[in-house]
A and B are shown apart, each in its own frame.
Chain A
Amino acid sequence: MIEARNFTYMFYGFAAAWTVIVIYVITLVSREKKLGQEVATLKKLIAEKEQSR
């Protein structure tokens, strides 16, 4: 079982480890959305230009 000695800093350690991973996952998710939107916009733009030719 866990004793109280150094428990606070152990908590900081685990919180830091997980925070790093969570921040990276959030970055990946937001980039995924941005890339998807950019692909859709460019495809739409190319389709419009092809039609106007």
Chain B
Amino acid sequence: MREKLLYGLGLAAILYLVRNLYVIFLVLPDELAQGAIYRVFYFHLPGYFTAALCYLLAGIFSAMYLITRKWKWDSLAAAITEVGLPFAAMNLITGMIWGRIIWGIWWTWDPRLTSALISALIYAGYLMLRQAIPDPTERAKNSAVMAIFAFASVIFTYKSNEWFRTQHPGPVLSIRTGGGTIDPQMEWMLAHNLFALLLLAGLLLAIRWRQEERQREIESLRREALSFS
């Protein structure tokens, strides 16, 4: 049953993404000043929001672990943090490629870019921390605390282009500006691609969570095998 659900979710995510690619390439017009390159925006921004939502959930699951001490929450937090990383990488890489054309440089140590990079590195550090602690209880407790505090970096990244003068463009979405900064057709497409990436992240989370549970089973089997010797 669970396998069928995963296949169904995977198929839905692929079909939705293919439909979105069709609209992005063949229906939507070019942006007047930027030409074709503006289209990376449809992955750059939804990639960031998908990663940010993964990190928010990682913080919530970690808090749930600290409150309840149930392994399920620790597994979910570890799984969703890892799933968030490829989306954070997608955001950073597409942003660099866009910057190469629009700014003439691949990278600048601007507050927005720097905080996004540091945020991704903090969550990569979370995964490394988990690898470094062999005791499951200690590992779960320390990584839960780290995941909760690490979310401050996501908030900092989100607000950095309001708090500082940045080279990165300011907010464009109508929920932040009140409208008039982006074509409604383009904004609608951003929402569609965000939902598609969230669907994909949901699928990856289900697979990764199962692996995390299996890893826990392996640890328990290893202890059982050692008890014989």
A-to-B contact residues, CB < 8 Å: 1-7, 9-10, 12-14, 16-17, 20-21, 23-25, 28, 31-32, 35-36, 38-39, 42-43, 45-46, 49-50, 53
State whether the Cβ of B130 lies closer than 8 Å to any Cβ in chain A.
no
Q: Which residue of A lies closest to B217 (CB)?
A: A39
Q: Which of B29, B34, B36 has the most CB of A within 10 A?
A: B36
Interface of A is mostly: helix
Instruction: Given A6-B36, A10-B36, A17-B40, answer yes or no on A35-B215 (Cβ-Cβ < 8 Å).
Output: yes
Set of chain B residues within 8 Å of A28, measured between Cβ atoms: 204, 207-208, 211
- A38/B40 in contact, CB under 8 A: no
Q: List 9 A-B contacts (CB under 8 A).
A: A2-B30, A5-B30, A12-B97, A13-B94, A17-B47, A21-B90, A35-B218, A46-B221, A53-B228
State whether the Cβ of B100 lies closer than 8 Å to any Cβ in chain A.
yes
Set of chain A residues within 8 Å of B90, measured between Cβ atoms: 16-17, 20-21
- A13/B43 in contact, CB under 8 A: yes
- A6/B37 in contact, CB under 8 A: yes
Instruction: Given A17-B93, A32-B207, answer yes or no on A10-B39 (Cβ-Cβ < 8 Å).
Output: yes
State whether the Cβ of B22 lies closer than 8 Å to any Cβ in chain A.
no
> Quick one: which of B148-164 are within 8 Å of A by CB?
none
How far is A46 from B211 in the complex, measured between Cα atoms in Å? Answer: 21
Set of chain A residues within 8 Å of B217, measured between Cβ atoms: 39
- A2/B208 in contact, CB under 8 A: no
- B200/A21 in contact, CB under 8 A: yes
Shortest distance from the beta carbon of A26 to any chain B beta carbon, whole Å: 11
User: Ordered nearest first, which 6 A-B pairs have the shortest CB separation?
Assistant: A5-B35, A13-B40, A6-B37, A42-B221, A6-B35, A49-B228
Q: Which residue of B lies closest to A35 (CB)?
A: B214
- A10/B43 in contact, CB under 8 A: no
- B221/A1 in contact, CB under 8 A: no
Set of chain A residues within 8 Å of B101, measured between Cβ atoms: 6, 9
Q: Which residue of A lies closest to B24 (CB)?
A: A14
- B211/A35 in contact, CB under 8 A: yes
How far is A12 from B37 in the complex, measured between Cα atoms in Å? Answer: 10
State whether the Cβ of B2 lies closer than 8 Å to any Cβ in chain A.
no
- B221/A24 in contact, CB under 8 A: no
Set of chain A residues within 8 Å of B29, measured between Cβ atoms: 1
